[in-house]
Amino acid sequence: MENRIKLLGLSILFSIFLTACGGGGGSEESNNAENQAPQVSISGDTEVNELATLLLSASANDSDGSIADFSWQQTGGPSIDFAANGQQINVSIPAVDTDTDVSFSLRVTDNQGATATTSITITIINVNQAPTISVAGPQISSSSNNISLSANASDSDGEVISYDWQQTAGPDVEFENGSSTISFTTPNVATLTQLVFSVTVTDSFGEQSTALFTIDVSANSAPSVSITGSQNIQEGAEGVLTATATDSDGSIISYSWVQTSGPITEFTATDNLINYTAPEVETNDEITFQVTATDDDGATSSAEFSIVVENYINLAPVITFDAIADITELTQASVSVVVTDSDGVIADIEWQQLSGPSVDFVQNGETITFTAPEVSENAEVIFRITAVDDQGAISSASLTFMIIHVNKPPTVSDIAITTEFNESSEFTIDASDIDGDELTISFSQQLAGASITLVDATTFRYLYQPASNSISQAPFTVTVSDGTQSAQATVSVTITDTSAATVVNVSPEDAASAVSVNARVMLSVSDVMKSSSLVVNSANGVCEGSVQLSADNFETCLAIDSLEMTGPQGNDNEYFNNIEFTAAFNQATEYALRLTEDLVNFADTPALAQVVSTFTTGSNDLKITEVVAIRFSNDTPWFELYNGTDSSVNLADYSVRVKSRDSSDNSISAATIFNLPDQVIAPEEYLIVHSGFGDQLFYDTTEQNKSIAFIGDIDSTVRPYWFLNGFVELLTRDSGSTVDFVRFGNDTTEPLTAGQWQTGSAPVISNVTGSSIKRDIDNTDTNSSSDWHYSQFTTPAGVNDVSCEDDSDEDGIPDCSELPGSTFSGLPLHAWGARVNQKDIFIEVDYMDSSDAGIIPHQTALEKVVSSFAEQGIVVHFDVGDLYHQAGGISVQDHDLGGGDQVTFRQYTPYNFNQGVESLFHYKMANFDMRRKPIFHYMLMANSRNIDGSAGSSGVAELSGNDLMISMGNWGLSLDNEVSRNLTFNYQASTIMHELGHNLGLEHGGDESTNYKPNHLSIMNYLYQLRGLPTIGDNEGDRYYSSRYRENANCAVQTADLTNSPFDSPENFVMSYSHGLGSSIDENNIIEANGLRYPGSAAVDFNCNADLTETLSQDTNDDTAVTVLNDVDEWSLIELRFYTLFSGNRFGVHQQDSDQKDVSKHIQQRMIEEQAPPLKLLNEIKAAREKQGIK
């Protein structure tokens, strides 16, 4: 209900005029039709506050009579008491919760009985009543008293919601406000003081009431306090003071003691008592203490008490003793002193050792007793005696005596050592000296070659090393001395051997080949073996004994002859560690030598049963081991020889009989004998005998390569030749007898010496370039066709170790040669990084001896090439030898596979022969391992392709081959500054990738020779070879502008301004072969808005007129033709298996060999020569070097 009070200021008079009953439609009838009903009205307030009194008055008249009666009645609202008095009623208005209407009616009757009625409605206004409040609490309180005041409040028409206490008079006290009760402590006052508080309560309608409450606080009386105790005390004595306090109006709650004057005094206070110790004083002095008593109301009183401290002088004790005689170590002894005190008694005596060997003594007052400690030398002992008298005076004295040392001999124990054969063993000498004297150790000289070495002098630790190969040791003596006396002990040694003997040396060594059939077998072991355990086969047959030799995996064993034993003991009848013997070996046979557990050492430990050597005996002569396939009439055939003997062989002692072809008329001869050159092949080495080609200079160069020999006179046109079928026969030159022979296909030629070939022929040699027929890895030779098999992979000048035909990743390397531990022709390709299902490209790099930055291969450039191929999943392996890795061995990460070389500088290097100087192939012949021929590309970093050595073509390469040359000498490339370095690295990297692309079968237009095609985004394209590839959508025509419109202001772009320019870091320079994503450009209908026609391309101004909206007809690549220019996916075109192609299987083109007859079987090797750089390019390089960059 709203808290409000309505004051009624308006009285409304209601006059209601009614007609009498029966006359005029009234509610009642009159008996007298002529009587007029009275008229009546009520006056009074229509709104009145609750609990007020209301007066209602009626006004009535009767026109033809008088009013006889007034009848009042409540007709609505809550029942209300009212008193009627004729025309008026007094109404006692009750309390209401909300504004409430009540109604009254009035009926008047005239003297004729006619009536009239009226009514009135009054609204009772709810009025909020203020709460009532009273305060309860003490009205009188003492000081420092805890009291509480409580407010009792009520509200007749609501509820009390808050209490607010305020102190209005008196010293401030602390209390928490907000509740009906507050608590506080009365202040401590000196006189009667009033505290006045008010509390205001608020009801739920905001009405407030306030009450006051007064408290009279009486004053607190301070307590009285006094101190009792002795007023005099001697220094050092203990005293007590007692405080007595009373409080007339309360109680004492605490005592507090302090010293207020005099020398600082130690005391302990406990309530009303203190205990103190009188301080030391030089003269009589005074100390004063103060005590403060506090009553329960916080009043305090203090009292002081002074004590005179009297000075007292106490005489210290006196200690005397006689000189102490020397005491012998380990004897019983006692030492005494005399202690006196002239003015008191002795309270305590203490003995303390100050120095010397520790003495374990027992004290009995003035005397101590002890056993003199053992000492290593005469030792002084000092004791301090301290005496204290009854007054605390202290005296000290030092007493000194000597303990005399008596020397005793050292002790040592016998020692037993067990050691392994030829192995050292540590031992410790258990020696001691009771005196602690320093000991020396010595050994007798009868060690028979054994040695003893000191390991640790502190612990007497020694190392015993038996004599070499000794199996026993006589006992010897050890002597221990303290310098005066000594002791001896015996050292006994047992030599045993619990480990199996190991083979120290064996000949023939394991995996040896070409072993002479007359070779002696020699075996040395690490142990001394019992001669009685050495048993061997005396005849061929079942294997027996402890040393066995077999050619059939020990199904049977060979007889061992001429057995000799030697050993270190000088008694070969009992012991040995070396044996030699002979056996009847056959040629070209694999033998195995093994030991069995029957062979034991001197300690009866058996040898480890094992094969200690597997070796192969040699042949009496050379063998033919591989014959290469011939596909074209101008192929250069070769076959392989192996020297399986144990001596070097000169090829000049041999000739070869084979079919031949005369290139002058293509005539074929059924058999021609060619003499082999004067060239030596070492034992166990391979060599290919190659059909001769090239010039005399090239022939001379072959002398530097011991893996190839040429046949066929240089001036002759007749050369060895075979196709699917044929034969090769190796002959002795002097007698013409057959040394080795193979025929293949359907050839029926017989060897000149009967019995050198059985019936049948080796497999047909398929006309697949890069294939061959060959013997197995052991070069098995039974003079039959079963010795030979066809292989898709040649292994020239190396072991025939390829055991598979699969090349699943088509990189030209058989899968089995890309497995861990495998080799290809003896080359560890897997160790060099080759893997199955990974395309691998190997490139050997030879570089001329020069300081020209354009010639030296730079690691940054090579790795840029590597990363460009790696993005396509192809791994490039460069081999520059030790250029970046001078340590021994190989380093794949440093591009050192052991093959690249620095070669002699020549200002001019031709590609072809017959130029009067060394060509690319002269360098390759002199420095290239022939075993790499089917796997490695050969790259020569040369100076120039110009005869005068001037800046010329960047390079030359075989198309679909494996040879390339980079010739960027005298271009002015340098490493002088960052821009020059970037140019050098980027130009070298892009040129290498360009020339390598030719080796992989790519032309300047990808699959065609058309060059400068703007939409052919490839490093093969001259437009992009040195400039790098453009960025599609980002000024993609900048290379086109730079090449064609360098001087046109509309679109001139200098090289340095290109996006990802070669002047920038190699990391930003972009080079790749094309992915074929560019659409064709029809030069008859060039829409400039389409740019280079790549996804995301932006417009290119092909005619450089600043209008990019044109459609043109224009020769964009300057080939004098207006045609359609096509892009191509070069990555899908590249061929890694160069060995299967004509160009990849040759050493170059002989310029004079231009025969075009029988074209179905004749092919020419094709190479691509690059153009010389334009002058503007060389000027840019120079500017970069001289100006630190031209940007």
402-411: per-residue pLDDT in tens? 999 888 889 9
> Which structural domain, as residue segments, surrounds residue 422?
411-446+457-496
What global pTM score does this model have?
0.56
Q: Of the residues 782, 803, 824, which one is the last residue of a structural domain?
A: 803
Q: Is residue 248 part of a domain?
A: yes
Per-residue model confidence as pLDDT tens digits over 294-320: 988 888 899 999 999 988 778 899 999
**Do 1034 and 1127 belong to one domain?**
yes
How many angstroms separate the CA atoms of 1161 and 610, rounded?
A: 57
DSSP 1141-1183: SSGGGSS---TT----SSGGG-----EEEPPPPPHHHHHHHHH
How many angstroms separate the CA atoms of 541 and 684, rounded?
A: 31
| Residue 821 identity (one-letter amino acid) | G
Q: For 817-844, what is the HEC assignment? A: HHCCCCCECCECCCCCCCCCCCEEEEEE
Q: Of the residues 310, 335, 353, which one is the last residue of a structural domain?
A: 310
The residues that bridge with 776 in the sheet, in sequence order, are: none
Per-residue model confidence as pLDDT tens digits over 29-68: 334 458 899 999 999 899 998 888 999 999 999 989 999 9
pLDDT more than 90, % of the chain: 70
What's the pLDDT score for residue 1155? 36
**Do 634 and 724 belong to one domain?**
yes
Is 1096 within 8 Å of 1033 (Cβ atoms)?
A: yes
Q: Reduce the DSSP state of residue 1184 to 3 states and report it.
A: helix
Nearest to 978 by CA among 986, 990, 970: 986
Residue with tokens 């039959």: 784
CATH number at residue 391: 2.60.40.10
Nearest to 320 by CA among 265, 379, 372, 395: 395
Q: pLDDT grade, residue 901 (50/70/90)? A: very high
Residue with tokens 């309390």: 95
Q: Of the residues 104, 125, 146, which one is the last residue of a structural domain?
A: 125
Q: Is residue 790 part of a domain?
A: yes
Of 938-947, 1049-1058, 1163-1172, the range with the lowest mean pLDDT is 1163-1172
Dihedrals phi, psi of 919, to nearest 5 degrees: -95, 180
Per-residue model confidence as pLDDT tens digits over 426-452: 999 999 988 778 999 999 877 888 999
Residue 566: DSSP 8-state: E
CATH number at residue 601: 2.60.40.1220
Quick check: 479 pLDDT over 60?
Answer: yes
Is 464 within 8 Å of 424 (Cβ atoms)?
A: yes
Q: How far is C-alpha 820 from the geometric centre of its chain's CA atoms?
A: 28
**Do 1094 and 1185 belong to one domain?**
no
Q: Supply 6's token pair.
A: 């309505």
Q: Is residue 641 part of a domain?
A: yes
**Do 370 and 436 belong to one domain?**
no
Contacts of 10 (CB under 8 A, 6+ apart): 45, 46
What's the pLDDT score for residue 1144? 63
List, as own/partner pairs, every contact residues 266-273 make where C-beta atoms lie below 8 angstroms and the sequence separation is at least 24, other chains included: 272/242, 272/243, 272/244, 272/245, 273/240, 273/241, 273/242, 273/243
**Do 864 and 971 belong to one domain?**
yes
Quick check: 885 pLDDT over 70?
Answer: yes
Nearest to 277 by CA among 326, 238, 304, 324: 238
Per-residue model confidence as pLDDT tens digits over 831-863: 999 999 999 999 999 999 999 999 999 999 999
Q: Is residue 196 part of a domain?
A: yes
What's the pLDDT score for residue 33? 55
The residues that bridge with 1093 in the sheet, in sequence order, are: none
Buried/exposed 643-678: b ≥16 CB within 10 Å, e otherwise: bbbbeebebebbbbbbbbbebeeeeeeeebebbbbe
Of 626-630, 739-743, 767-771, the range with the lowest mean pLDDT is 767-771
**Do 640 and 734 belong to one domain?**
yes
What's the pLDDT score for residue 171? 92
What's the pLDDT score for residue 10? 31
**Do 278 and 338 belong to one domain?**
no
* Average pLDDT score, the chain: 89
Q: Supply 674's token pair.
A: 């060619």
How many angstroms separate the CA atoms of 656 and 637, rounded?
A: 13
Q: Is residue 866 part of a domain?
A: yes
What's the pLDDT score for residue 587? 79
Q: Which residue has the higher pLDDT, 434 or 749?
A: 749
Q: How far is C-alpha 1061 from the geometric centre of its chain's CA atoms?
A: 36
Of 45-49, 665-669, 1171-1175, the range with the lowest mean pLDDT is 1171-1175
- Give the residue-averaged pLDDT of 9-29: 33
Burial class (CB in 10 A: 0-12, 13-18, 19+), 375: buried
Q: Which residue has the higher pLDDT, 205 or 396?
A: 396
**Do 294 and 326 belong to one domain?**
no
| Residue 629 identity (one-letter amino acid) | A
Residue with tokens 């190479």: 1167
Strand order in the sheet with 132-136: 132-136, 146-154, 181-185
Quick check: 1114 pLDDT over 90?
Answer: yes
Q: pLDDT grade, residue 3 (50/70/90)? A: very low
Contacts of 735 (CB under 8 A, 6+ apart): none
Per-residue model confidence as pLDDT tens digits over 1012-1029: 999 999 999 999 999 999
How many angstroms separate the CA atoms of 730 and 656, rounded?
A: 5
DSSP 963-1019: EEEEE-TTS----SSHHHHHHHHHHHHHHHHHHHHHHTT-BTTBSSS----TT--ST
DSSP 672-728: EEEEPPS-EE-TT-EEEEEE--S-HHHHHHGGG-TTEEEES-TT--EEE--SSSEEE
Q: Is residue 558 part of a domain?
A: yes
Rg of the chain over all Cα atoms, to the nearest angstrom: 65
- Give the residue-averaged pLDDT of 171-179: 90
Per-residue model confidence as pLDDT tens digits over 388-398: 998 889 999 99
Instruction: Let me know the angle formed at the C-alpha of 990 by 986 and 993, rounded to the nearest 5 degrees.
Output: 145
The length of the chain in residues reads 1191
Q: Supply 108's token pair.
A: 């008047």
Residue with tokens 């101190």: 227
Q: pLDDT grade, residue 1188 (50/70/90)? A: low
Contacts of 39 (CB under 8 A, 6+ apart): 15, 16, 17, 18, 60, 61, 62, 63, 116
Q: pLDDT grade, residue 1145 (50/70/90)? A: low
Nearest to 339 by CA among 314, 319, 316: 319
- Give the residue-averaged pLDDT of 978-1000: 97
Strands 415-420 and 486-496: parallel
Per-residue model confidence as pLDDT tens digits over 69-127: 999 999 999 999 888 888 999 998 988 878 899 999 999 999 999 999 999 999 999 88
Quick check: 979 pLDDT over 80?
Answer: yes
Q: Reduce the DSSP state of residue 892 to 3 states and report it.
A: helix
Task: Specify the number of domains making up the chain.
Answer: 9
Is 770 within 8 Å of 793 (Cβ atoms)?
A: yes
Helix, strand and coil percent figures for the chain, each rounded to 5:
10, 40, 55
Of 154-158, 922-926, 1000-1004, the range with the lowest mean pLDDT is 154-158
- Give the residue-averaged pLDDT of 411-425: 93
How many angstroms separate the CA atoms of 539 and 517, rounded?
A: 18
Q: Is residue 201 part of a domain?
A: yes
What's the pLDDT score for residue 747? 94
**Do 858 and 980 belong to one domain?**
yes
Per-residue model confidence as pLDDT tens digits over 534-565: 999 999 999 999 999 999 999 999 999 999 99
Q: pLDDT grade, residue 1147 (50/70/90)? A: low
Q: Is residue 6 part of a domain?
A: no
What's the pLDDT score for residue 767? 82
For 692, other C-beta atoms within 10 Å of its C-beta total: 22
Q: Supply 723's token pair.
A: 């196709």
Q: Supply 955's token pair.
A: 């390079």
Quick check: 656 pLDDT over 50?
Answer: yes
CATH number at residue 697: 2.60.40.1260
**Do 297 and 431 belong to one domain?**
no
Beta strands in 457-608 (DSSP E): 461-465, 476-481, 486-496, 503-507, 521-530, 547-550, 561-566, 575-582, 590-595
What's the pLDDT score for residue 1165? 65
Q: Supply 822's token pair.
A: 């495998």
What's the pLDDT score for residue 697? 64
Contacts of 254 (CB under 8 A, 6+ apart): 293, 294
**Do 973 and 928 belong to one domain?**
yes
**Do 519 and 647 belong to one domain?**
no
